[in-house]
């Protein structure tokens, strides 16, 4: 089946969705003989619940996953078993810490005020066409890098400077997808020789190593300087890198925060987690809004009712009242999952609820992008953008189980940053929708990039105009 897949690789996510629609939500993809590339592709919520919840211990990422995603090292995304438990526990402690939460809030407010707003005002005043996806990627990158390392690259500015680390992330994500449809022996050979798309991965890894080493070295100097100056820990104990550098290692068996490799893997993992999902979701969200002006009107009405020209847009209690905006964001995530698919391998033979038999030689791809389009799951109007889908008759938010709304993963591996993500997305959406009119350039081609992250291939070309607001 592989030649057929390669022919439609430019639209692989839609192709898989179409195949699953006529295959009762699950089908087996047979790869070349002797290469161990057989995969079971599914968007069946029952299969997701079985693997990620009720039979969690029977499945892991597996050694092949770690090989394919080797640039992430031993980060939480590729870890299994005891190491994953330790990484998960430490991440939960860090994200729950009041110091980190306060730092997150200050960082985000500052980047919107001094980064996003000046850039949008500039493009509005000059009436220039610009790439909104690129703006969101820079915003998310700057915020995430600051939260992870304490260092602000200031890539979001009117000058739009090149950023080596961000480019390396995009190149690595692209290479990962190709590794899924190539025999491992082939892509490893290409990587060894340094040809094809693997050449991008070699350069990306060199960039990661160089910049991560710089961030780690600088952070050590800051911590040592504070210690010698007897400055309290609250002065520097906020970003993720600082947290792990000072972690009490006696509580963990397998983690070694004193090791530079561990710290590099930590930086790379949290950078992927923080940047890509936020920027990608916002890009597709504003494209959907451009096609649905009635939704924009309803969101503005909700903003004017709950946040009438106030400065409280980052108050979680106020944001929780933004039911329609929340529904619109969920609907965008449903249709355009930032990470189109997840992957697991059975530890031993098993039978899925769909009736498919799997063993340790099989890989299972869970098609999150396709799941959001399945009529058998979401109804005959599954392809339509309807924020009302997420609102109850009483006007509250409708809950959907994570194995159906699979964007934030499910079970013990569910996304720790879900709450923070919605806080960030709502804040940016309110700032832009309330103060600006965004118009997509007529005739601009919308295509997906074959990548681990659902980027728009040609960006999102738009113009922006400042709204005249009546007090």
Which residue ranges are tagged as binding site for heme?
A: 415
Q: Write the CB contacts of 264 (distance below 8 Å, at least 6 apart in sequence).
A: 73, 208, 209, 212, 213, 216
Token code pair at residue 196: 């094809």
3-state secondary structure of 410: coil
Token code pair at residue 399: 């809950």
Cα(60)–Cα(335) distance, rounded to whole angstroms? Answer: 27
| Phi/psi at 258 (5° precision) | -80, -10
C-beta neighbour count of 43 within 10 angstroms: 28
Separation of first and last alpha carbons in the chain: 62
Cα(284)–Cα(251) distance, rounded to whole angstroms? Answer: 42
Q: Where are the beta strands (DSSP E) in 405-466?
A: 436-440, 461-466
Which residues are documented as binding site?
415
Cα(304)–Cα(435) distance, rounded to whole angstroms? Answer: 12
146 CB burial (10 A radius; 0-12, 13-18, 19+)? buried
């Amino acid at each position: 089946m592989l030649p057929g897949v390669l022919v439609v690789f430019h639209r692989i996510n839609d192709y898989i969705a179409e195949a699953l629609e006529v295959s009762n939500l699950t089908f087996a993809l047979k790869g070349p003989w002797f290469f161990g590339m057989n995969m079971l592709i599914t968007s069946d919520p029952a299969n997701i619940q079985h693997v990620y919840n009720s039979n969690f211990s029977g499945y892991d990422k597996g050694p092949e996953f770690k090989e394919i995603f080797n640039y992430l090292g031993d980060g939480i995304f590729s870890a299994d078993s005891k190491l994953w438990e330790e990484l998960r526990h430490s991440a939960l402690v860090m994200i729950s810490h009041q110091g980190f939460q306060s730092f997150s809030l200050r960082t985000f407010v500052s980047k919107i005020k001094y980064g996003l707003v000046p850039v949008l005002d500039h493009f509005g005043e000059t009436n220039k066409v610009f790439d909104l996806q690129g703006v969101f990627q820079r915003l998310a990158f700057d915020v995430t890098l600051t939260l992870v390392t304490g260092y602000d690259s200031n890539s979001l500015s009117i000058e739009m400077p090149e950023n080596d680390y961000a480019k390396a992330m995009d190149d690595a994500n692209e290479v990962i997808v190709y590794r899924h449809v190539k025999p491992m022996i082939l892509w490893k050979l290409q990587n060894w020789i340094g040809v094809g798309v693997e050449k991008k991965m070699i350069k990306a890894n060199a960039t990661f190593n160089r910049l991560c080493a710089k961030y780690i070295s600088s952070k050590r100097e800051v911590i040592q300087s504070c210690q010698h100056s007897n400055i309290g820990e609250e002065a520097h104990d906020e970003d993720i890198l600082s947290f792990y550098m000072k972690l009490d290692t006696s509580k963990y068996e397998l983690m070694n925060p004193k090791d530079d490799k561990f710290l590099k893997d930590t930086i790379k993992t949290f950078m992927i987690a923080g940047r890509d999902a936020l920027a990608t979701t916002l890009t597709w969200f504003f494209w959907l809004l451009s096609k649905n002006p009635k939704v924009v009107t309803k969101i503005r009405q909700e903003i004017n009712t709950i946040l009438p020209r106030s400065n409280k847009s980052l108050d979680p209690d106020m944001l929780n009242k933004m039911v329609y905006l929340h529904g619109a964001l969920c609907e965008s995530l449903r249709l355009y999952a930032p990470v189109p698919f997840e992957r697991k391998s059975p530890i031993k033979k098993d039978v899925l609820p769909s009736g498919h038999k799997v063993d340790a030689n099989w890989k299972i791809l869970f098609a999150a992008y396709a799941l959001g389009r399945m009529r058998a799951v979401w109804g005959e109007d599954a392809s339509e953008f309807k924020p009302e889908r997420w609102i109850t008759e009483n006007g509250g938010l409708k809950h959907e189980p994570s194995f159906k709304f699979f964007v934030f993963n499910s079970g013990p591996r569910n996304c720790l940053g879900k709450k923070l993500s919605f806080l960030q997305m709502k804040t940016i959406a309110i700032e832009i929708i309330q103060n600006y009119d965004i118009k997509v350039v007529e005739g601009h081609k919308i295509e997906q990039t074959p990548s681990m992250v659902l980027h728009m291939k040609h960006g999102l070309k738009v113009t922006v105009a400042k709204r005249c607001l009546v007090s």
